[in-house]
Every structure is written in C-alpha cells, then in structure tokens.
Structure 1
C-alpha cells in the first residue's frame, strides 16, 4: 500500500475490485449462464479527510462500487482494505465494528427513512445498534444536538419522515450517518433527488461537517458539476471501468480521456461568452449492455477517435499521463476530440 506525498497511509484502499451478477439465459437459452459485469477491476485510494468523487452515467457501476466497499454487496473478487483491515475477510462481528467508522448516505431520502419511526428514533438507531450511550435521555439530547448541527429544529425530534420536505429528509439521513462520528461516509448521489437550490445547501452542509469532524467522503454522482465543488480528486467510470482520475482542478482543466471530455462539455459555464463559444461533444449510440460488453476498450463503440487497436487489443491499463493524472486510453491526450461536435 503506497503512501502519498505527505506520508499519509490511505484510509481506504480498493484494489482490483470486481463485481458480477449472474443472470438467467432466458426462456430459449436457460442452459447459458451470463453475468452482468457491474464493476471491473477498479482500484483507488481515499486518504483521511479527503473527498473522492466517483462520476459516470447511470448504470456504470458507481453505486455497486460503494456497496461492495461497505460489504452491503459481496464483491466477486478484489480487495478492500479499510483502516488497515481487509473488509473481505471480516466476519459479522468485525463487519459490525467496521461500520461504526464507515457509514452510508442513500440516494433517495424518501425510501431510506422508516416511515414508522420518528426522526429521533431514526437518528439514534446507530447508537442503539452499536450500544453507544445506553441512557435514553442522554441519547435524545445528543440527537437534538445533531439535528441542530444539520440545520433542523431539535424540537421536531418526535415528528415522522412524512412531515418533512425532501431536503429536510436528506439532512436527517446525514445526521444519522454522522451519529457515530465515522471516519468515512459513502455518499451515494445524496443530492440527485433534490431541487438545485436545495442541492447547494446539502453540499455546503457536507463540506462544513467535513471541516468540523475530518470525515472522508466517497462522493458518488452522475453530474460532474456537482462533484466539482466538493471533491479533492475525481474519477470517471464507464461501463464498470475506471477510465480517468486526477485532482479535480487538473481533470476539469485538461481532461485526457474522450469520455471525460464529452461529460465536461455538458457542464454549464458561468460566463455567458464562454458558454456561447463552447462546443457540445455528442457521443454516438447508447452505452453497450454490461451483460455483453464490447471487446477491447469498453468505450470504443462510441469513441470519436477510436482506431482498430481499440477493438482488438485488451483494455489498456491506467497509465500516468501527467503527475498524479491517470488515464485508460491508447490515444489519451488533452482535448483530442476535434470532430463529432456541435455548436451550442
């Protein structure tokens, strides 16, 4: 396990993580067993107090990666080391102990809260499960302080989830995730179901809590403009594979992979003159099926700069194209796409 420039060891080390889901062959092909290749050979590190953004289209394997890390889904192969311990080898008791320091914020604030429980019971549930603060009065005082920290009225502790808006429900989910003061929180598209104005409030809240408690985030999103303002480093996934990653400033200023460039071309720019002169990169076709992914580079069927080698040679390894900037492409270069673009 490598150390970064400051000598820190990674809090989370993911190495060659792979997850395949078996599927039936169908009515006329029951004998043929196929698999959905959800996550394929994904590796990265997250350091204490860092925010690592994981971005890609729907169905690219982002959420499955997060669930495999926390062992909500069992990986097919690969290694996940959290705080120096191999998650894949943990038994139930060790997993329970590990989850005191690794929590999850779910995408849907409406489905992730039990409608039969008050928000006081919801936020205090991790404390009960892990037998922290056995005294109920002390526990409820702590929950009120948590609600105040996330911007909710502590006097609403006995209300039920249906009495809150979407943004307020997500704040309840954030309070529940922070109840045990974890070292790492996996944020699975925590703002995608919210209005734009509420998104900004929730992102600011997450940033403030990170500064206060030093928590690391794995921030999963499909929108590059969302992770730009909260991430230290950003990785881009396509069809289960990590295609490029770097610190966010480098990735946004000088993307190497054509897929990253196409995603960034859709991110709005505040300057009207710059926005007017930009070109939107239009990718042809739809993403291939993860049950039958294309040979060679997974992106070659939609890539505007693909050549014969891209379909015949195996998927290229991630290589360092600039200091701290890694890309998986035979022809990776800053701004290689000159065609297949339209004026906005």
Structure 2
C-alpha cells in the first residue's frame, strides 16, 4: 500500500531468519535446534521516512536490520530495495545496493577501527566505491566532519582520542559519506549518556531534513523512538505485534505488549506520573529455540485466554494504517482489573 502515492523504498515481505543452535536427542529422536530470531516480518519504508522498530533485547530487531542489509542471509521471505530483490543479488549488485543503504552501529567503540585515522574511517566507503581522488575524498571528509559537529582539523586523529558521543558522530559521518537513500540505525544512542542522546537524535533529524534520507531506526527505548519516528513497529520474540504511526501507537496501543512497554515510559508531569499504573509482565521472554504455541506473548499476557495458546493471531489492519496481531485487539486492552496492584 503506497503512502501518499509514493513507491516504497524498502519492502520487506514475510522475512524470517533462523540460526543453528546445536543438536541433540529429544523424545527419542535426533534433531537439530534452530533459533527463530525473526519470524514472518513484513513492512515498508518510504523515501524520507523514519520507521521505528522497537522491542526488548533479543526480540530480533538487530537481526532484522542485518538481514535487510544482507549481512545475514534470510531463511525465508523477500527484501526489495528500490524494487530489486536483495536476497538474489550477486556481489556486484550488492556492492551497488550498499552504496544506497548504509549502517550506523550500536557500539561507537567497537564499530571504528582503532588503527585508522578519522579521515581514513570516514573516507573508506568512498575509497571502496572509487569515488573521487584522494584529495577530493579528504575534502569531502572535512565537510562531513563539520556537518556532524566535529572539528575538521581532527581528521588525522584516532578513535581513542574521542568521547563516545564524538565517535558516534564519526560513525554518522561515515554513513552519510555516500549520501545513501536509506540508513539502518541499530540502537545508535543506547550506548551514550542521556544528555548526548538528544544531541545525536537532533543531528540525525537535521541530516534527514537536509538530504531526504530514510531511516530504519532500531531501539528498545520507546521514548527515544517517539521523538524521531513517523511510524513505529513493535516486535516480540521475533514477530511483529503492532504497527502504526507514532501518535496513534502512543495514544491508543492496541496490543497488550505495546501497552505494557508504554506504561514504563516516564511522563514529565509528576501528577500524571504519580497516578499511572505500571504493567509488570510475569516471567521472562520464552526461548526462541522453543517458542510457545499460538500467540508467542500468551505466556506473559495478563488477558490471555485459551485461544491464545492454540491459535497464532493474524497480523491484520484493525483501523486505517494501524496493524495488530492480537485476538483481543482494542485500544488499551489491559484494563485496571487485569493489573496486579
């Protein structure tokens, strides 16, 4: 379905990714275990849009991003970038695709080569794609460093001479060096101090407005996603459970998992915060090696009924532009009577 009659820049259809997890004898039979990291995920991203992907650690968010980029090969499903199937691309096609799709990594310390100068790190994508002469690339690096709020004179310094926030700015400059159409931001602020997070988010928004770049913004913090995303999808144990524009998702969550996540987001008004009820989920997320039958969330859901353990709910449109996978989908499905006060 086109947004504002635009063609999707990225289209993900029923994407799944499994990883081998050893083998053993179960029930008298020898079998190989697999981790179902991503299961039947579908969404679209349009030019210039920020699509937020949220969920707790281990739900498959980062694996989704890496599989889209084909750093991991998908087990099933399709990924189309500008109408071309990423999974069937050869090396030459992949190289051309990655010029238009870049990655910002979570860890600003591990993602920069400590033996390379800042100039070499930021210019590396241009070197790989044979863009310009060395002098032209260095001039472009100085422009990028200035653009992300770093001193262009520090071009010959090494990563260890910079703070975490400055290193992440270097990673952002590197991602923008080829002026890509889509950047996958894999928790780009989670390793930074809260005061620095706002600066980096504002920088990403400024660069998006300047270049029209689309973002897949992966995070576990709903309050961070709220300030940068146009639409937000929520994942649980490898599956997408809700998708909507951010205003409707935050105003009227229709999946109990989304509602429980939002109940943990602080509200700046102390009177409202004092009267809010926090929804504490029972237990821990199940193992992705052996996910529950039916709805994967039913083992922790306060409103689960018998059907939830037997039938997986369909991920369907419950109102225009709002999708949910729950047998009892409605605004704020967890009522106060369901909360253990």
Q: TM-score, normalised by structure 1?
A: 0.96
Do the aligned partners of 1:15 and 1:80 also contact (CA within 8 Å) in 2?
yes
- Which residue among 178, 196, 199 is the counterpart of 2:197? 199
Matches within 5 A, 1:36-51: 36-51=35-50
Alignment correspondent of 2:95: 96
Alignment correspondent of 1:15: 13
1:27 deviates by 9.1
Alignment correspondent of 1:187: 185
1:320 aligns with 2:317: yes
Alignment correspondent of 1:142: 140
Alignment correspondent of 2:210: 212
| Shift >4 Å, 4+ stretches | 26-30
1:340 deviates by 4.5
Q: Deviations for 1:150-176, whole angstroms, at most 9, x for unmatched residues?
A: 000000000000000000000000000
Do the aligned partners of 1:147 and 1:172 also contact (CA within 8 Å) in 2?
yes
Are residues 30 and 72 of structure 1, via their aligned partners in 2, closer, same or farther at CA, if it must alter by over 3 Å?
farther
Structure 1 residue matching 2:278: 3-state secondary structure: strand
Matches within 5 A, 1:61-80: 61-80=60-79
1:84 deviates by 1.3
Alignment correspondent of 1:289: 287
Matches within 5 A, 1:270-281: 270-281=268-279
CA distance, structure 2, for counterparts of residue 300 and residue 17 of structure 1: 22
CA distance, structure 2, for counterparts of residue 105 and residue 287 of structure 1: 27
Q: TM-score, normalised by structure 2?
A: 0.97
1:232 aligns with 2:230: yes
Q: Deviations for 1:106-142, whole angstroms, at most 9, x for unmatched residues?
A: 0000000000000000000000000001x11111111
CA distance, structure 1, for counterparts of residue 82 and residue 173 of structure 2: 23
Structure 1 residue matching 2:247: 3-state secondary structure: helix
Alignment correspondent of 2:330: 333
CA distance, structure 1, for counterparts of residue 243 and residue 266 of structure 2: 21
CA distance, structure 2, for counterparts of residue 176 and residue 31 of structure 1: 47
1:312 deviates by 1.1
Do the aligned partners of 1:281 and 1:340 also contact (CA within 8 Å) in 2?
no
Alignment correspondent of 2:114: 115
Structure 2 residue matching 1:100: 3-state secondary structure: helix
1:30 deviates by 9.9
Do the aligned partners of 2:53 and 2:217 also contact (CA within 8 Å) in 1?
yes
CA distance, structure 1, for counterparts of residue 33 and residue 329 of structure 2: 32
Are residues 275 and 342 of structure 1, via their aligned partners in 2, closer, same or farther at CA, if it must alter by over 3 Å?
farther
1:270 deviates by 1.2
- Which residue among 255, 258, 265 is the counterpart of 2:256? 258
User: Structure 2: any 5+ residue segments left out of the alignment?
Assistant: none
CA distance, structure 2, for counterparts of residue 168 and residue 19 of structure 1: 34
Do the aligned partners of 1:24 and 1:30 also contact (CA within 8 Å) in 2?
no
CA distance, structure 2, for counterparts of residue 213 and residue 342 of structure 1: 48
More deviation in 17-26 or 122-131?
17-26
Do the aligned partners of 1:254 and 1:334 also contact (CA within 8 Å) in 2?
yes
Structure 2 residue matching 1:25: 3-state secondary structure: strand
Structure 2 residue matching 1:99: 3-state secondary structure: helix
User: Structure 1: any 5+ residue segments left out of the alignment?
Assistant: none
CA distance, structure 2, for counterparts of residue 129 and residue 270 of structure 1: 47
The alignment of Structure 1 onto Structure 2 pairs a total of residues equal to 339
Q: Deviations for 1:25-75, whole angstroms, at most 9, x for unmatched residues?
A: 259999320110000000000000000000000000000000000000000
Do the aligned partners of 1:69 and 1:80 also contact (CA within 8 Å) in 2?
yes
CA distance, structure 1, for counterparts of residue 204 and residue 53 of structure 2: 16
